[in-house]
Amino acid sequence: MIEPREAEDLVLIALNKPVGIVSTTEDGERDNIVDFVNHSKRVFPIGRLDKDSQGLIFLTNHGDLVNKILRAGNDHEKEYLVTVDKPITDEFIRGMGAGVPILGTVTKKCKVKKGSTVCLPHYPGAGAEPSDSSHVRALWLRSEKAGTYAHYERQLKRHSAG
């Protein structure tokens, strides 16, 4: 159970985190998300995005809410839309879903679903540079539980290289 808060005390921010910002609250970390948002109240990111990733992340000053969402025991699924600049074959999808060897271990299995070619804005440095700048191929990655987070970006890069 999460205790309700007075509306005027609650801070909930939806941020399109740009590339280069670190999803941490550590003061010593250069380009951290808290300094970037620069809110008058202490806020915490709900989850994380890698420094070289761009996307939606929520921040709040409600610590109980953060803990409830992120606690692995709550079995929340995580889903990612990944764009790539090469064809997505059935073999590629099977390989990603089975796990990929990285740094002496194999990443957790995940559900992988091929999307269609979609029209998305592309931001320099935000990922794959498609040959047609207005269209990229989409790939959905979903972990079964938040506690089984696999390093999908490294997994995708490693599997794409092979």
Per-residue confidence (pLDDT) for residue 27, from 0 to 100: 85
Whether residues 81 and 143 fall in one domain: yes
Cα 118 to its chain centre, rounded Å, is 19
Tokens of 20: 């280069």
CATH of the domain at 54: 3.30.70.580
Give the residue among 86, 133, 134 at the shortest CA–CA distance from 114: 86
Domain interval for residue 92: 74-161
Confirm whether 50 is a catalytic residue. Answer: yes
Number of H helices, E strands in the chain: 4, 8
CATH of the domain at 118: 3.30.70
Question: Sorting pLDDT into bands at 50, 70 and 90, what band is 90?
Answer: confident
Q: Which of 9, 35, 50, 90 is catalytic?
A: 50
Nearest-10 crossing angle of helices 90-98, 152-161: 140
Per-residue confidence (pLDDT) for residue 97, from 0 to 100: 81
Give the residue among 78, 49, 67 at the shortest CA–CA distance from 145: 78
Statement: residue 6 has pLDDT above 60: yes
Ranges of H-type helices in 6-62: 33-37
Question: Sorting pLDDT into bands at 50, 70 and 90, what band is 131?
Answer: very low
